[in-house]
Amino acid sequence: MAHFITSRLASVCGLNGLQSRKITYVKSFAPRPFIKRLKPKKKFDDAPGRLKTEVGLMNARKQIKARYPRERKISDQQAINWPDVWPGWAPFRATTVPFPVRMGMRRQRLRLPNPVKYANPELVKLPNFLHLTPKHVETHCDAIKHFCTPWPDSFDDVDCGHYFPVQVTSTDYVFAGSSIKRPEARKITLQINLKALKMPDETKQKFYTLAGELLNRDTGIITIQVDRCPTRKQNTDYALYLLTALYSESFTAEDWESNLTYKDMVDHDWKVSPSKGSVLRVIKAVSKEVDSTTEDDLLQRKVVIDYGKAVDNLFNASKDTDMDEVMDNYRTAALELMGYSLSRRKAIKK
């Protein structure tokens, strides 16, 4: 191999301009051949545990002979069954890969040799995926397939959310080194949708107050992140305990909770708001019925209830709500409360 390259180099190098210099070419990197003693020293070589040196130069040369490269022996049929030839990860072996590959940069194509795959460490340095060809993947999948059952079609995201409301997320880490310990692996995130927790409206308000930032009001997902315990299992148990505590605490009503004012409310509640008082005054002023109707009757009127809902929507609107719709709703509710309905107004105008 080395001889071939140097002879080609010599012919192609263009030595015409260098004729005046005496040039000696190095044929290869091989050192001068090590000539062994022809008659081994008996006492030294016959001692137990020693390798017996071979006699003669020719025999010495044959001792590590390069194997006949498999790629020349391999038949097409064998090569087609590539998973048998290259079963698992292995560094690039020029003598096993049956196709020619070149690896190396040579700007001067005429002067420099072809960077073939033989004795090319650059190819070994790179990662190769000869153990993951489509044929390999197919064979692996076929081997595992009969253990698998198809995913049930009826089991979609909605069902998943219904049957498995609690989602626990944990991360596993991979590291190339002698230690597999990862302290970050004990951290877990527990997520549950508010819809999965059945609570009446009053307890919901308390839940919102207790949960605070754990609850995302727009999506309704409660997120609890725990990493205070040394193991992952302990952290999941603690997270579940926190959730249970939150839920049960929101049901217990303390005595002082009945003294909650308008400012303590998380969501705007029209029934506790100053707007309710002013609405009742306005109705009494506008309507011609005098004192015969009580406050409770007034509050049960559809017009008043609708107005209350519209005001609540206005205050409780999140970023995603369409404000035009909410404002429109409030406008109609307010006008109807005052005794004007839009359709009637249009009729009057006409």
Partner 1 sequence: MLITQVSLVRRSLSTSVPRCKKVSGRFRTTKNRSRALTYEMAKKPSDIGVSKGWNISQTSALEGERNEESGTTARALFEELFVRNFLQGTWHQMHVFTPVIKRRLNQVHICLFLRSVHGPNINVVYFLTGYTEQMLSYILKCPVKLYVQIIKDRPVYKLI
Answer whether 205's CB lies under 8 Å from 251's CB. Answer: no
Nearer to partner 1 (CB atom), residue 107 or residue 346: 107
For partner 1, the binding residues in 86-125 under the rule CB under 8 A are: 89-91, 93-95, 104-105, 112-113, 115-116, 118-122, 124-125
Q: Is 128 one of the binding residues for partner 1 (CB under 8 A)?
A: no
Using CB under 8 A as the binding rule, whether residue 150 contacts partner 1 is answered as: no
Give the neighbor-by-neighbor strand order of the sheet with 167-170: 167-170, 188-193, 221-226, 215-216
Which span sits near partner 1 by CB under 8 A: 62-70, 132-140, 261-269, 328-336? 62-70
| 91 residue type, one letter | P
List CB contacts of 76: < 8 A, sequence separation 6 or more: none
For partner 1, the closer CB: 178 or 294: 178
DSSP string, 177-243: SS----GGGG-EEEEEEGGGS---HHHHHHHHHHHGGGEETTTTEEEEEE--SSSHHHHHHHHHHHH
Residue 185 burial by CB count (10 A; 0-12/13-18/19+): exposed, middle or buried?
middle
158 binds partner 1 (CB under 8 A): no
Residue 184 or 296 having the CB closest to partner 1: 184
Instruction: Give the strand pairing for 215-216 and 221-226.
Output: antiparallel
* DSSP E strand stretches across 115-172: 167-170
Residue 108: strand, helix, or coil:
coil
Distance from C-alpha of 198 to C-alpha of 308, rounded to nearest angstrom: 25
Residue 39 touching partner 1 (CB under 8 A): no
Beta-carbon contacts of residue 338 (< 8 Å; ≥ 6 apart): 282, 286
**Cβ nearer to partner 1, comparing 4 with 151:** 4
The residue from 38, 47, 66, 110 that contacts partner 1 (CB under 8 A) is 66
- Site mask, partner 1, residues 174-213, x = CB under 8 A? xxxxxxx--x------------------------------
The single-letter code of the amino acid at 254 is E
Classify residue 188 by burial, with Cβ atoms within 10 Å: 0-12, 13-18, 19+.
buried
Q: Is 50 in the site for partner 1 (CB under 8 A)?
A: no
Interface residue with partner 1, options 56, 61, 233, 237 (CB under 8 A): 61
- Of 34, 44, 129, 163, the residue at the interface with partner 1 (CB under 8 A) is 34
CB of 150 or CB of 183, closer to partner 1: 183
Binding of partner 1 at residue 253 (CB under 8 A)? no
Q: Are 185 and 172 within 8 A, CB to CB?
A: yes
Given 41, 50, 65, 146, the residue binding partner 1 (CB under 8 A) = 65
Task: Rule CB under 8 A: say whether 131 interacts with partner 1.
Answer: no
Residue 56 interacts with partner 1 (CB under 8 A): yes or no: no
For partner 1, the closer CB: 9 or 305: 9
- Under rule CB under 8 A, residue 2 binds partner 1: yes
Measured CA to CA, the distance from residue 193 to residue 215 in angstroms comes to 9
Among 9, 80, 245, 282, which residue sits at the site for partner 1 (rule: CB under 8 A)? 9
Binding stretches for partner 1 (CB under 8 A) = 1-2, 5-6, 9, 21-26, 28-30, 33-34, 36, 51, 53, 60-61, 63-67, 89-91, 93-95, 104-105, 112-113, 115-116, 118-122, 124-127, 174-180, 183
